[in-house]
Structure 1
């Protein structure tokens, strides 16, 4: 088994035995001293400026409602870092100016994400073109029904190939790209944790460690001793 699979099962066992102990159904917790396995940290792909611009240009070539919808989806992904499951759960009423209320979250806690002017303008245009349909979901299919996750992933993969981007173009790639750009821009891990909807800051700190080279370059430009004649 992979380390992640083993750790997932260990967490389930830990939760189960913790419940039994709290309910006083057992006297001793056999999982008390069982630790999770350490896993090798893998490099995560992100998109650079040229790749993002190339992707948007490729999507715009089609000049259809569906391609415009897809462009807005990509902008929302990149701007907010939301998960795919969170994006398909957004309703029209969740969009309020430059913010979106994310209700369908992984940890069941609602959170607010913020939009740049570009995304806000394009999203506003999309909502007007979308019009009134039966579903209240923000992103709809060609048949005016709720857009499913598989369709989004399939179209993103298609655009990635057409743009000849030699990386996986996916919602998760956009999420990591957003995290990297925020970190390199100087956003602290605690703020990023809330924007991404992480329940544990250690997950967010992993991103900081992954992109250390970018931070090293940033330190060279803005280090505390920069400009001092000492």
Structure 2
């Protein structure tokens, strides 16, 4: 279908009455490939004409969580033509015409929302707080996943972890570049907090009793389901948030909080960028902007009397 769509683009004009440039055709096709790869990971039927609005919304939510609002807005704009083509060619509903379609506007320089320390602490508490007597698979797994999210991984990076990427003896995780998001960051090594190492150790012990423990994927689903998907992660985070008495959040907000935590602790920007997989310092500044004033006030107060 992709080749058919590409041929269509090369034979029609854009909204300005001019032929699409080859670069634009490639960009539009790449957006469809990103959708196709997500469908494969989510084990969805490989049929674009069967996609409904809710599923398309889930894709954009997952894409946003591993990129940013600007990138998601671009992909959303680039896919508009594809869904219009599907509507005309196959007579199927266009999600972009649905009132329930969730749009991602272009960034306006707004500040990402940082999670409070109370929120994260309460989330850890409702998942057993790392107590060794907590043996329920879901709680042990969820606690470990929340701990790993505090290490600054993108949601898709977290879900792409395999057993061989975990080195608990040295307290390290290896993050491998995502095939559909190589521009977002290169492979890197993540140093783990001691409590994260303990949480992962307990999870791996609980994981041994899972029906699919032979799977190479690190994170397995509940009730003996296989590899955990983004929708499973999103539901887990918000179920635990509700248990703790909070509103829904995005897994990506843990990454914002990670940046603020390290800056507040005085970690050099270059070191944070290396661990987080950022090449552009503007990304770090944007992620940490939410608490910039608080950090500045704290830093000045720490100086005490200057005269």
Question: Which TM class, normalised by the smaller chain length?
Answer: 0.7 to 0.9
Structure 1 residue 52 displacement after superposition: 1.4
Structure 1 contact 90–102 (Cα < 8 Å) conserved: yes
Structure 1 contact 189–205 (Cα < 8 Å) conserved: no
Please tell me whether residue 92 in structure 1 is matched to residue 163 in structure 2.
yes
Alpha-carbon distance in 1 for matches of 2:72, 2:245: 36
Residue in 1 that maps onto 2:176: 103
TM-score, normalised via structure 1 length = 0.75
- Aligned match for 1:73, one of 145, 163, 168: 145
Structure 2 contact 157–175 (Cα < 8 Å) conserved: yes
Alpha-carbon distance in 1 for matches of 2:118, 2:72: 39
- Aligned match for 1:169, one of 237, 242, 249: 249
Structure 1 contact 102–113 (Cα < 8 Å) conserved: yes
- Aligned match for 2:237, one of 156, 159, 163: 156
Residue in 1 that maps onto 2:198: 121
User: Deviations for 1:149-196, whole angstroms, at most 9, x for unmatched residues?
Assistant: 111111111111221224x43320111111111111112222111111
Structure 1 residue 146 displacement after superposition: 1.1
- Structure 2 portions without partners, runs of 5+: 1-68, 79-105
Structure 1 contact 82–196 (Cα < 8 Å) conserved: yes
- Structure 1 portions without partners, runs of 5+: 13-37
TM-score, normalised via structure 2 length = 0.58
List structure 1 segments (4+ residues) > 4 angstroms apart after TM superposition: none
Aligned residues, how many?
198
Distance change (3 Å), C-alpha of 1:112 and 1:134: same
Residue in 2 that maps onto 1:187: 267
Aligned Cα root-mean-square deviation (Å) = 2.8
User: Deviations for 1:70-129, whole angstroms, at most 9, x for unmatched residues?
Assistant: 110000001x11011101111111111210000144326210111111110111121122
Bigger mean CA offset, 203-212 vs 149-158: 203-212
Structure 1 residue 227 displacement after superposition: 5.7
Distance change (3 Å), C-alpha of 1:63 and 1:171: same
User: Deviations for 1:33-87, whole angstroms, at most 9, x for unmatched residues?
Assistant: xxxxx94222322222221121122222996201210110000001x11011101
Structure 2 contact 114–291 (Cα < 8 Å) conserved: no
Residue in 2 that maps onto 1:8: 74
Q: Secondary structure at the match of 2:273?
A: helix
Q: Secondary structure at the match of 1:60?
A: coil
